[in-house]
Structure 1
């Protein structure tokens, strides 16, 4: 079954490329479009690494952009909203877009030393939440860790294309989501299951 799904996706990739704005290359096959889509982040990162790398101000961070835009103005850490610096790249006639892998933001902000530190933090957080999910056995009442890990897992998958992990997790919106989950569990799930146990 996975093989069949893979064949269908590959055969449709040329059409999908037009939908995401990567189409229009004469003589390009679905496999060519797939190669562009998968190879673009690595090539774009390579192009960035060949230029001059300057370590930036932590308060104007690309890595923690959503956190800084959330709390920065309140604590006067930044004067204006930070914008992502992700220039679009081309190689010949091919547009590679502006995806650079998660390492781009780390190197952009902290240089090469930042890579191993930030990857280590990602790994520790992901592993701790994963272990919390494995140790929670209640089927009737979903653990927060399961919800948090589902959020983290998508960010980890997207790390090949962008800095989704730190953009999503170190974000005021994520804290609000957790508070909403806690209230939902407290009000709806706990009350409902407590009533069932009483009956």
Structure 2
């Protein structure tokens, strides 16, 4: 475990310098995510065991290395383009119609009450915390009962979260560029942070926190006076926010109706921050992969199949991910296995090679485009990178978030919302016209 941690330190440092010290470059985010996970795994080595299968070591290390190399190649291609990377956009000034945004926020508050009513209705629970817990357990296949919100309620959730991400970008932009704390934008930050709780999940809240930090760095990097030496401030900011989140994480179980957690805070956090590596090791030790099923890439492309089955009548049964709970030496380790688990499950070692290539390529391309983009109040591609792609990369140490986010309908709806809200809120644009 110690060798893994030391190796990932070297890879993370390499990614940092290869990316010009840009803290939100995909390969750096990917590396640092596994660095944190390996650190927690190392801290728990005495309980879980320090030894890792050599195959586990090489899967993680070579996966990270490939991600760095592919990202760097694509970066070089983009950075040598004649147009270059624009550091600041001074061609136009955009003004937000605050009155219209207030109207939108009133609608969002109404949506929240409608969603709460639906959560209680479909679960039959009058207590909202118990209701959201049952909804979450049903979604993850932990109980036999099937609870699902109606389509219009899901669309309301998508709308609130997408507009919340949009608001996060505006909030950070105003804070960084004008040193102003705009309440009207901060309300949207709260919508983004709290949205997923009504589904019994804390994942959306964590995504919203990561998005805030990514938007901060995106906007900082666009400034003419940006200098990599300022990264120390950003790193300290990330450490402080991460410490607060970890301190509060155990307490949030009651927010989603899961009851009081009896394990120590350290043990509880370790299950979410380091046990994934040990679980992956246990899976690799069993050696029973790839597992052939009727569906190609069943575990990797679960949301794509979910879309095909529900909306295009694909001839297959709806299914849940195969994520058995693990334990070692009497310690429960949960049921999360890193991004590499479903790839090994479906395709074996060759899956690591090809899917890392795909993930790194898509992530880096979107990142490079988002840097250049400067149209609209909040550029769609920048919102998509900060609100979807970057958080999925960060949580690669946890699960297959990247390919699970490839829900065609959700992506389309989100982009449409970004387009609508950008145009709806514009008060004035192009000061030179």
TM range (shorter): 0.7 to 0.9
Whole-angstrom distance in 1 between the partners of 2:313 and 2:297: 12
Q: 1:17 to 1:72 in 2, by over 3 A?
A: closer
Distance 1:134 1:122 in 2: 18
Please give the per-residue CA displacement for 1:109-146, whole angstroms capped at 9, x wherever unaligned: 111101121111111111111111111234x5221111
> What corresponds to 2:361 in structure 1?
124
Structure 2: gaps of 5 or more residues:
1-235
Task: Pick from 24, 41, 45 the counterpart of residue 276 of structure 2.
Answer: 41
Report the count of equivalent residues: 191
Which of the numbers 394, 401, 420 marks the counterpart of 1:157? Answer: 394
Match of 1:62 among 290, 299, 318: 299
Q: RCO higher in 1 or 2 (8 Å CA, sep ≥ 6)?
A: 2
State the shift of 1:45 in Å.
1.0
Alignment correspondent of 2:379: 143
Query: TM-score normalized by structure 2?
Result: 0.39
* Structure 2: distance between partners of 1:37 and 1:146: 28
Per the alignment, residue 91 of structure 1 pairs with 328
Gaps in structure 1 of 5+ consecutive residues? none
Q: 1:79, CA displacement in angstroms?
A: 2.2
TM-score between both structures, scaled by the size of structure 1: 0.78
Task: State the superposition RMSD in angstroms.
Answer: 3.2
Q: Which residue of 1 aligns with 2:404?
A: 167
Provide the rounded CA distance (Å) in 2 between the counterparts of 1:161 and 1:109.
18
| C-alpha distance 22-160 of structure 1, shift in aligned 2 (>3 A) | farther
Distance across 1 between alignment mates of 2:366 and 2:330: 44
Check if 1:24 corresponds to 2:240: no
> Structure 1 residues 171, 50: CA separation in 2 closer, same or farther (over 3 Å shift)?
farther
1:109 alignment partner, one of 346, 350, 369: 346
Inter-CA distance 116–189: structure 2 relative to 1 (3 Å threshold): farther
Cα–Cα, structure 1 residues 167 and 7, in superposed 2: closer, same or farther, change >3 Å? closer
- Distance in 1 (CA, whole Å) between partners of 2:415 and 2:299 is 24
